């Protein structure tokens, strides 16, 4: 799961042939209730552009910060971040064929350096989008759902659904126990056990975006992951997906 000490890679990309998912009826019922509470599957799958950030803050400093724009209808993608030495980097690619170009300080990266930057950007999409929209992905190909049982967290009563992965994703050995509030029907907490052996938990908060609920912040005992400027858009200037001289900070 960990691409760096604080870059969280979660199973979501279909890199291996997916086994037929195992889902019990109660868990699948809860999955649909979550999606309905988040605005409905029709609205999510019909959304055109998604803009968001991925900001990891340990409390002492920000250790990861990158900005995303996804054209869900075509697969075109833009990632803005910085290199280790602080230079602005832009990667323009397509998530469907993983092809694209990377630019540092406005100059195109060629050869292995360019290919690696595109690969890293795709992995960042997989990771960061999962933190933004994980409940929307419960019914993705290869995701197993098991109803664990009722649970009370503080004053909130709800249910726990376990997610495992059937030979899909960057880390298919990960396991998540998701708490769904009976009041809001939203997933507000998860406990995780990764294939690396790491364990932990996160609390989730949501924001409303053009009729859809997406994550806005996550907190754990050690850090937060904030999704920054989250927007679901009907139209975007095409230059943001084609011109490395543009910056997502300019997208209004």
Mean pLDDT of 81-96: 96
Segment (H or E) for 176: strand 175-181
pLDDT tens readout for residues 177-233: 999 999 999 999 999 998 888 999 999 999 999 899 999 999 999 999 999 999 999
- 207 SS3 class: strand
Phi, psi for 239 (deg, rounded to 5): -60, -30
How far, in whole angstroms, is CA 194 from its chain's centroid? 16
* Cα–Cα nearest to 138, from 184, 111, 177: 177
167, pLDDT greater than 70? no
Q: Report the DSSP beta bridge partners of residue 103.
A: 90, 108
Q: pLDDT at position 171, please?
A: 65
14, pLDDT greater than 50? no
Lowest mean pLDDT among 3-7, 51-55, 61-65: 3-7
Q: pLDDT at position 195, please?
A: 81
- 185 SS3 class: coil
Q: What is the DSSP letter of 135?
A: G
Q: Report the DSSP beta bridge partners of residue 201.
A: 191
Q: In percent, how much of the chain has pLDDT > 90?
A: 84
What mean pLDDT is reported for the chain?
Answer: 90
b/e map of 103-142 (b: 16 or more CB within 10 Å)? bbeeeebeeeebeebbebbbebbbbbbbbbbbbbbbbeeb
Give the pTM: 0.89
Distance of alpha carbon 57 from alpha carbon 195, whole angstroms: 24
pLDDT grade for 169, boundaries at 50, 70 and 90: low
More confident residue, 165 or 32: 32
pLDDT grade for 30, boundaries at 50, 70 and 90: very high
What tokens appear for 200 in the block? 């932990």
pLDDT grade for 2, boundaries at 50, 70 and 90: very low
More confident residue, 2 or 182: 182
Q: Report the DSSP beta bridge partners of residue 179.
A: 160, 189
114, pLDDT greater than 90? yes
Distance of alpha carbon 157 from alpha carbon 184, whole angstroms: 10
Lowest mean pLDDT among 55-59, 149-153, 168-172: 168-172
Handedness of CA 161, 165, 25, 186 (dihedral sign): positive
| Overall size of the chain counted in residues | 252
pLDDT grade for 29, boundaries at 50, 70 and 90: very high
Hey, what domains does the chain have and what are their CATH numbers? Answer: 21-247 (2.50.20)
Q: pLDDT at position 11, please?
A: 39
């Amino acid at each position: 799961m960990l691409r760096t000490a604080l870059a969280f890679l979660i199973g979501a990309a279909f890199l291996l042939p997916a086994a037929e998912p195992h889902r019990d009826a109660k868990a699948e019922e809860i999955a649909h209730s979550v999606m309905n509470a988040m605005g409905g599957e029709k609205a999510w799958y019909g959304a055109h552009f998604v803009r968001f950030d991925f900001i990891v803050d340990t409390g002492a400093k920000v250790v990861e910060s990158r900005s995303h724009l996804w054209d869900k209808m075509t697969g075109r993608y833009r990632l803005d971040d910085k290199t280790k030495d602080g230079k602005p980097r832009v990667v323009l690619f397509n998530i469907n064929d993983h092809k694209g170009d990377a630019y540092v300080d406005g100059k195109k990266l060629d050869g292995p350096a360019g290919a690696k930057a595109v690969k890293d950007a795709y992995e960042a999409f997989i990771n960061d989008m999962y933190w933004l929209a994980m409940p929307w992905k419960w019914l993705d190909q290869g995701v197993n759902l098991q109803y664990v049982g009722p649970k009370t967290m503080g004053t909130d009563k709800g249910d726990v659904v376990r997610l495992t992965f059937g030979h899909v994703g960057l880390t298919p050995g990960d396991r998540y126990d998701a708490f769904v509030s009976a009041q809001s029907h939203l997933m507000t907490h998860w406990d995780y056990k990764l294939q690396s052996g790491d364990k932990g938990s996160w609390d989730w908060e949501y924001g409303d975006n053009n009729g859809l609920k997406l994550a806005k912040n996550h907190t754990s005992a050690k850090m937060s992951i904030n999704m920054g400027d989250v927007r679901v858009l009907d139209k975007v200037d095409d230059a943001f997906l084609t011109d490395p001289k543009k910056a997502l900070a300019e997208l209004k």
